[in-house]
Structure 1
Amino acid sequence: MSLRKFITSGIQDVLDSKLGGLSGNKQQQQQQSNNSSSSLNSNHQPPQQDYNMNPGGYPNQPYGNAGYRGMPPQQPGYGNAGYDPYGQGQAPYPGSGGGGQPPYPGGNQGGYPGQGGAGYPQPPQYGFAGNQQGGDYPPQQPGYPQQHHNQQPSYPPQQSYQQGGPQGGFFPNQGYGQPVMIGTPSLFPVPGFNANADAEVLRKAMKGLGCNNSKVISVLCQRTNGQRQEISKAFKVMYGKDLIKELKGELHGDFEDLILALMDAPAIYDAKQLYKAMDGLGTKESVLIEIMTSRTNAQIQQVRDAYKMLYKKDLERDLIGETSGHFKRLLVSLCAGGRDESNQTDPLRANQDARRLYQAGEKRLGTDESTFNAILASQNFNQLRMVFEEYQKVSNHSIEKAIEAEFSGDVRDGLLAVIAVVRNRPAYFAKLLHDSMKGLGTRDNDLIRLCVTRAEYDMADIRNMFQSLYRTSLENMIKGDCSGAYKEGLIALVNGNRG
């Protein structure tokens, strides 16, 4: 063999060796690929990944309620042991009187005009929302505007006002998840409202000698509480003066009391009224009953927060210290703000509760007051109306007659007030207004409180009910008992700003 052939043969052997190795690798890889494909086709699933090595992704989670890996487990629902009166699949609040949001109610609710605007006209708000981000105050009630510790609480958020409802109704207390509990107010937010222009009118009314009370009435008695708060702020910005201090210096007597009451946010005003009713010797139980029986859960919570902010005291403790016996227990139950505010009814339960009330009262020697307290202070209004109807069937007389026979004193008055509010709220307030003016003299503090607190909630309904019950108009009765600017201011609130 020549040298040339030897070299050529050696090169060929080397090439065959290398190419044969590569060919073998390809065959091995092809076999593995075929095996993997066969495995995928037989199981219809991709090969399992190692979720324990997951940098940058969601950490491993156990299978949740839906069986989906990677989702955190569902949290248990809140409220009524999982019962959902709102039909949303999960109980409505961890503390609010209505709909799917952490409660309150820290919340305005209406209330006042809110559920919840400043003041009761809740969020959703009556007013005081406390520290919604944590701290000493409970979470915000749905619908109520959030407030900070340095802000005045207020019930009604202007943005929560619903207009164009039934019969043109306006519901400042209607908030997310909350039922509309009140009817037609007399005061509505003024279209085209201009806080600077109103502040200028007030400045001119108080400039110089004397005060033009008619101008003050035309502004402050024709605006909602939220708009009054804006006017107060604009006045300070424009003139460097505090509007409330200016009003105190210019106004006098009952008219001054009326205007200053209008300038407080609703929750603040209610807190002041409760404190005044308990301050000094004796307690004015009628004021405690009126406020505690007629406010929503959110409004009650905001009043508690406002009370603590103003007086550094706990409202519940003061109520306990100023009252006693079963009346005290009723007020404590109402102060907790835990009434069911859904619209759900259960006829069977209503019949059972009516029989329980009958057995706890007339059917036995003595009275089991706790049964009356438990039912009347906790159930929603629709359910209680059904209970009252069932009680009539069981006993052949009204629940009111039973309470008058079985109870006495303040607890009787408190329970009757609860029933009156449940049955017909406008009639309840119409009677209070009539009582404040009947006989010799006028209970001006009561008259002012009723006109101020109801103007943004249901004053139009109260006005109509008053006419029906007493065969005279509320306006005429005010004219017969009051005079001057005080009379004109009250009438402006009663008649409202829509003619």
Structure 2
Amino acid sequence: MSYPGYPPSGGYPAFPGYPPTGQESVYPPAGQYSYPTVPGGYPPAGAGTYPAAPPSAGYPGTAGYPAPGGYPAPGGYPGAPQAGGMPPYPGGPGFGAPPAGPGFGGYPQPPAQSYAGGGPAQIPGYPGGQAPSPMPGPPAAMVQCTQGTIQAAPNFDAGRDAEILRKAMKGFGTDEQAIINVVANRSNDQRQKIKAAFKTMYGKDLIKDLKSELSGNVEELILALFMPRTYYDAWSLRHAMKGAGTQERVLIEILCTRTNQEIREIVNCYKSEFGRDIEEDIRADTSGHFERLLISMCQGNRDENQTVDYQKAQEDAQRLYQAGEGRLGTDESCFNMVLASRSFPQLKATVEAYSRIANRDLLSSIDREFSGNVERGLKTILQCALNRPAFFAERLYYSMKGAGTDDSTLIRIIVTRSEIDLVQIKQMFTQMYQKTLATMIASDTSGDYRRLLLAIVGQ
């Protein structure tokens, strides 16, 4: 394969005598300095040609490249991040009717769009006739292409940070800015090491010292940042069910959005830290179909296979239609079974198939067939299957919209997503609401609380 600009005038630097005479137009000759070595040769069979760009443009090392079935057309994978960030989200603030045009798992994607990276735009004979055989979904690395605003600090020194925090709280007054500079720029793992170093160096508990120096929302935010991630989720669930009343939206937000491994770790932590069985607490605080949905979520047994089976998607879509729109009344257990057990890529394909069968999107059907907390739980699962960052962007928006601020929700989402996908959440927030997350936080909060939130979110 020829590459524009190769060889450069004057020969190949750093490779004396290379290329051999007569092979200047071919880079590289077979068996020499392969560019780059990949299984099956370069480019892989059927992958098409690669753009004339040096390796620094993103290959090798870019997960999921080349795309299954071929190098994607300009614009990249359907629903995948592109240069400069994620593709535009054409929708508005709600999750109702599907927006026109493609999006990053819009709500829902147009039926004609295939989920697989190199799949056909239209699936011949589907629906009706023979559905296609199972096709691979996007590579796992593409599904999880997320990024947090907080990264582990380089040249980290737990003892030095512990000393900074000690000086910030020692004597008269508190240097809140010094505390913010440390906690907003360290990963959760690094904060745990700072806590341990503080106790070793001063024989004092950092959390108790922080609580004595801080108050209000900034105290809640800093204490949340110093909780281990799994413990914070377990603590939030316990707090949501403790005492009079139940914060059902917290249960939904955590149990319906976490991965299998996260769910299992939360359930174990809940037991070890609070001496309670989370399923028993859920049964005591909820009832009916909502209770059964949450119990299903607590199992952490969702299929996580990234392969999409379009035949199963068609069957599930038909099953859901017959359990809801296609009958008098609703078979809630059918919705629970499909939405609690299928992988998120599989659910996405089911949403597309359902739109063809019912002539309405599945989210709208759930609106019509369900109400209350079970409706919110089912919709949360689907929204996460279609576009998880958009779900959290909506939750953040409504935590600040209107009179007053739901500070607990604002804090919980900012903290729990800060190292996972807060970059994507910020992008979706701007595209959905035509304002930045930082702008809305700045207008809804004040003081050290505002400064710490903005430091975490990033400008």
1:375 to 338, 344, 347: 338
2:234·2:267 contact (CA, 8 Å) conserved in 1?
Answer: yes
1:410 and 1:257 mapped to 2: Cα distance? 27
Matched, 1:491 2:454: yes
1:423 to 386, 395, 398: 386
What SS class does the counterpart of residue 308 from structure 2 fall into?
coil
Could you tell me which residue of structure 2 aligns to residue 41 of structure 1?
Answer: none
1:178·1:341 contact (CA, 8 Å) conserved in 2?
Answer: no
Look up the equivalent residue of 2:277 and give its one-letter code. D
2:314 and 2:342 mapped to 1: Cα distance? 14
Look up the equivalent residue of 2:153 and give its one-letter code. V
Higher relative helix content: 1
Look up the equivalent residue of 1:251 and give its one-letter code. L
1:220·1:228 contact (CA, 8 Å) conserved in 2?
Answer: yes
Which is greater in Rg? Answer: 1
Give the Å deviation of 1:228.
Answer: 0.2
Deviations 1:270-317 (A, max 9, x none): 111111111122111100000001111111111111111222110011
Matched, 1:398 2:398: no
Give the Å deviation of 1:181.
Answer: 3.5
Matches within 5 A, 1:79-94: none
Can you give the 5+ residue segments of structure 2 that lack an aligned partner in the other structure? Answer: 1-80, 86-138
Could you tell me which residue of structure 1 aligns to residue 185 of structure 2?
Answer: 222
Give the Å deviation of 1:200.
Answer: 1.1
Higher relative contact order (CA 8 A, sep 6+): 2
Deviations 1:327-383 (A, max 9, x none): 111101001100011201111111111001101111111111111111111111111
What is the number of residues matched between the two proteins? 325
Could you tell me which residue of structure 2 aligns to residue 198 of structure 1?
Answer: 161
2:312 and 2:382 mapped to 1: Cα distance? 18
Give the Å deviation of 1:168.
Answer: 11
What SS class does the counterpart of residue 338 from structure 1 fall into?
coil
1:282 and 1:167 mapped to 2: Cα distance? 47
1:203 and 1:281 mapped to 2: Cα distance? 38
Look up the equivalent residue of 2:271 and give its one-letter code. K
What SS class does the counterpart of residue 377 from structure 1 fall into?
helix
Could you tell me which residue of structure 1 aligns to residue 227 of structure 2?
Answer: 264
2:217 and 2:349 mapped to 1: Cα distance? 42
Could you tell me which residue of structure 2 aligns to residue 237 of structure 1?
Answer: 200
Q: Normalised by the size of structure 2, how large is the TM-score?
A: 0.69
2:351 to 388, 393, 396: 388
What SS class does the counterpart of residue 149 from structure 2 fall into?
coil
1:445 to 408, 412, 430: 408
1:181 and 1:283 mapped to 2: Cα distance? 32
2:346 and 2:144 mapped to 1: Cα distance? 14
After superposition, the CA RMSD in angstroms is 1.8
1:183 and 1:316 mapped to 2: Cα distance? 31
Could you tell me which residue of structure 1 aligns to residue 298 of structure 2?
Answer: 335
Matched, 1:455 2:421: no
2:372 and 2:326 mapped to 1: Cα distance? 21
Look up the equivalent residue of 1:407 and give its one-letter code. F
1:316·1:335 contact (CA, 8 Å) conserved in 2?
Answer: yes
Could you tell me which residue of structure 2 aligns to residue 211 of structure 1?
Answer: 174
Look up the equivalent residue of 2:263 and give its one-letter code. I
1:305 to 265, 268, 277: 268
2:205 and 2:415 mapped to 1: Cα distance? 22
1:297·1:337 contact (CA, 8 Å) conserved in 2?
Answer: yes
1:266 and 1:410 mapped to 2: Cα distance? 25
Matches within 5 A, 1:47-62: none
Deviations 1:42-66 (A, max 9, x none): xxxxxxxxxxxxxxxxxxxxxxxxx
1:371 and 1:181 mapped to 2: Cα distance? 28
Could you tell me which residue of structure 2 aligns to residue 324 of structure 1?
Answer: 287
Runs of 4+ with >6 A deviation: 165-169
What SS class does the counterpart of residue 424 from structure 1 fall into?
helix
2:140·2:306 contact (CA, 8 Å) conserved in 1?
Answer: no
1:166 and 1:338 mapped to 2: Cα distance? 32
1:294 and 1:181 mapped to 2: Cα distance? 14
Could you tell me which residue of structure 2 aligns to residue 354 of structure 1?
Answer: 317
Matches within 5 A, 1:42-191: 181=144, 183-191=146-154
1:200·1:235 contact (CA, 8 Å) conserved in 2?
Answer: yes
Going from structure 1 to structure 2, the CA distance change for 1:233 and 1:467 (only over 3 Å counts) comes to same
2:140 and 2:321 mapped to 1: Cα distance? 32
Give the Å deviation of 1:166.
Answer: 9.3
Q: Normalised by the size of structure 1, how large is the TM-score?
A: 0.63
2:195 and 2:389 mapped to 1: Cα distance? 31
